[in-house]
Structure 1
Amino acid sequence: MSNIRGQGYDGASNMRGELNGLQSLIMRDNPCAYYVHCFAHQLQLTLVAVAKENKDCAKFFQNLGIVLNNIGYSCKRLEMVRDIQADKVLEALASGEIESGKGLNQELGLSRPGETRWGSHFKSIVRVMSLYGTLIRVFEIISKGAKSVDDRAKAEIGIDHLESFEFVFMLHLMKVVYGYTNSLCEALQRKDQDIVNAMTILDLTKEHLTKFRNDGWDQFLQTVSNFCAKHNIEVPNMDDFYAPPGRSRRRLVNELNLQRFRIDMFISVLDKQVHELDSRFDVRSMEMLMCMACFSPADVFASFDKDKLVRLAKFYPNEFNDTEITLLEYELDIFESDMLRDSRFHLIKSLGELSIMLVETKKHISYSRVYLLLKLVLILPVATASVERVFSSMKYVKNYLRNSMSDELLDNCLVTYIERDFFSQVSDDDVIRRFQDMNPRRMALDFS
């Protein structure tokens, strides 16, 4: 237990809980076993919390799923969407409403959001907004020409959802939320992730969400109203009492539309999003990752910062006492000068390549303290989305049949699949020889 220097796993409360979670139990025995959760997964969890813990968001995504499923499961209905949308584009071109040109007016299809790819939700929302009138027209055709009562009922339910002001309101609001978080989502899922830039995008995302929450209501409501006017949807008067859809007006709730849409929906969703971003991306993990980024050899050590690396070393008092910290400060100065002069280190881009080059050039002996700090940095790889991709790959390898095999064989299958780019360079003859040398065989394998 005393040798553990990092831990990372799922973000469930029984794993990452501050009181009785696994990470807390381990850190009580070893305070240097820091828990760093995958930042891309943390962002997904913040979006999940907003989408599922807020009843209005949960209702919106359920209704959105009903609309997309009713059309998306039928090739005939998808073809109907394409034909109607193509006719609308031709009419708009003829009237001069839109212009033609390279890359403009491309054919759009419905994109259903993925459960684990929360960046796909933004794409789905944008597509629904672009095809909004077309979707209503398709449901109207289905409702009139459906042979079964079930299909007619589903089409009418789809029309009711689409023409609801609450649906249009949440459609625009979630477009804003996912639009502001989309850049952060892409930055955190890149393989060549730049922690410094990702954290900058995180701060800017929270800043813009807060600014939109405080100052963006009037413009947002005007945008929603214009969209409703274009599609003949009634916009409720914000000074009237709120009437829940499907309920008798004699049972009106005692709140105004302004209270309902601005406070209960607009401000509530944005506050929840900012709060989740603050709680999921804790200060200590962000500080550690910012310090780790200063070790990057990219662009000839352009982000190298001695002070931050010394601060990072202080997170590990078992390895770096006061004397070692002082020696590390001087060693980092010499290390930086050596790296800038040695042309062999000018083309490397990752921390893994840096560690390999230090060993190949025997400089890991000369800079033993720097190399130790580098190894501690490499122990925490869960800051990128690569670990999450490994878990995603397991579902392809760990199927029903392989689930009963031994752990060692299953591990070997996972390694060869995850590192398939490397193993593709290994020849079949090398694999056969390696297998032949494992144990004495009754007969030699054929190499022909």
Structure 2
Amino acid sequence: MELVDDVKARLATTRESGWDNLFSDVQDFCVAKGIPVPNMDDEIPVRGRSRVEGRTVTNLHHYRAKIFYVAIDKICVEMDHRFSEESNIILNCFSCLDPKNSFSKFNVDKLARLADIYRVDFSDDDRGTIRDQLETYVLQVRRNASFSTCEDVQSLAMKMVQTEKHLVFPLVYKLIELALILPVSTSSVERAFSAMKIIKCKLRNKINDVWFNDLMVCYTEREIFKSLNDIDIIRTFTAKKSRK
């Protein structure tokens, strides 16, 4: 998360004082390629309705305010969307599973909080006992030399299975599973929403909700649909009684 914060800080610095360096690089590139560089003090018509009214702005305002600032602002908005406060909290909690340096980042409070966040995956009894399980777990893995070779959560999960610790500490292993599954699930959801936008655009928003939902199921579960046998589907529908 420190890296994310650093990227956001650099974007803010670039927006504040990065125009001159960027424009200098662009000028050098244009000179090298024989491309004419516009005079930043020249005025150009404003696009849109204001153009009809005869309003003008300088090239400097157009390229810096309308393009440079807007591009950086869009990146910042996307960063804030991708790494929201809630996402930062979750990522910070999952980082406590990092096995490096003898589990130096391990934090019982933060990991127990994940059980509260993902209540669907943890029962009331699980949330009541997970702290004790976490405290015992970290004592054992720090003493066990075989866990000292773990460099990331993936290798930690494999070592848990090899040593059968996933049976001894099932709740801790469930947290590890969530840490491995969630990034993939998030990417799948994002791809599904991208496909949804394509479908809606191509059909010009004339599609009804039921049909749209059916198409989305076919897309997100396409691997399952590929394995279905067309003949079996036909036989299933043929065997059904006619319905009015």
TM-score (norm 2): 0.61
- Pick the aligned partner of 1:236 from 38, 45, 61: 38
Q: Which residue of structure 1 aligns with residue 141 of structure 2?
A: 339
Q: Which residue of structure 2 aligns with residue 407 of structure 1?
A: 227
Give the fraction of aligned pairs with identical amino acids, expressed as a percent: 34
Alignment of 1:171-320 (within 5 A): 199-242=1-44, 254-318=56-120, 319-320=122-123
**Matched position secondary structure for 1:242:** strand
CA distance in 1, matches of 2:226, 2:71: 47
CA distance in 2, matches of 1:260, 1:201: 32
Residues 187-226 of structure 1 show CA distances to partners (whole Å, capped at 9, x for unaligned) of xxxxxxxxxxxx4333222221221111122333333334
Preserved CA contact (<8 Å) 1:300 1:347:
no
CA distance in 2, matches of 1:373, 1:218: 48
Preserved CA contact (<8 Å) 2:45 2:56:
no
CA distance in 2, matches of 1:383, 1:203: 24
Residues 134-185 of structure 1 show CA distances to partners (whole Å, capped at 9, x for unaligned) of xxxxxxxxxxxxxxxxxxxxxxxxxxxxxxxxxxxxxxxxxxxxxxxxxxxx
**Matched position secondary structure for 1:255:** strand
Verify: 1:373 aligned to 2:175, yes or no: yes
Inter-CA distance 356–232: structure 2 relative to 1 (3 Å threshold): closer
Alignment of 1:10-159 (within 5 A): none
Single out whichever of 273-282 and 208-217 deviates more from structure 2. Answer: 273-282
**Matched position secondary structure for 2:43:** coil
Inter-CA distance 333–229: structure 2 relative to 1 (3 Å threshold): same
CA distance in 1, matches of 2:23, 2:154: 50
CA distance in 2, matches of 1:406, 1:224: 50
CA distance in 2, matches of 1:231, 1:376: 52
- Pick the aligned partner of 1:330 from 120, 124, 132: 132
Structure (1/2) with the larger helix percentage: 2
Preserved CA contact (<8 Å) 2:93 2:111:
yes
CA distance in 2, matches of 1:297, 1:386: 27
**Matched position secondary structure for 2:149:** coil
Q: Which residue of structure 2 aligns with residue 425 of structure 1?
A: none
**Matched position secondary structure for 2:42:** coil
Inter-CA distance 228–369: structure 2 relative to 1 (3 Å threshold): closer
**1:341 deviation in Å?**
0.7
* Counterpart residue identity of residue 227, structure 2: D
CA distance in 1, matches of 2:226, 2:26: 58
**1:373 deviation in Å?**
3.0
**1:292 deviation in Å?**
1.8
CA distance in 2, matches of 1:317, 1:383: 17
* Counterpart residue identity of residue 172, structure 2: V
Query: Can you give the 5+ residue segments of structure 1 that lack an aligned partner in the other structure?
Result: 1-198, 245-251, 389-402, 410-448
Residues 1-55 of structure 1 show CA distances to partners (whole Å, capped at 9, x for unaligned) of xxxxxxxxxxxxxxxxxxxxxxxxxxxxxxxxxxxxxxxxxxxxxxxxxxxxxxx
Q: Which residue of structure 1 aligns with residue 199 of structure 2?
A: none
CA distance in 1, matches of 2:14, 2:155: 43
**Matched position secondary structure for 2:26:** helix
* Counterpart residue identity of residue 296, structure 1: D
Preserved CA contact (<8 Å) 1:328 1:370:
yes
Verify: 1:351 aligned to 2:171, yes or no: no
**Matched position secondary structure for 2:56:** coil
**1:320 deviation in Å?**
4.7
TM-score (norm 1): 0.36
CA distance in 1, matches of 2:126, 2:72: 46
**1:229 deviation in Å?**
4.2
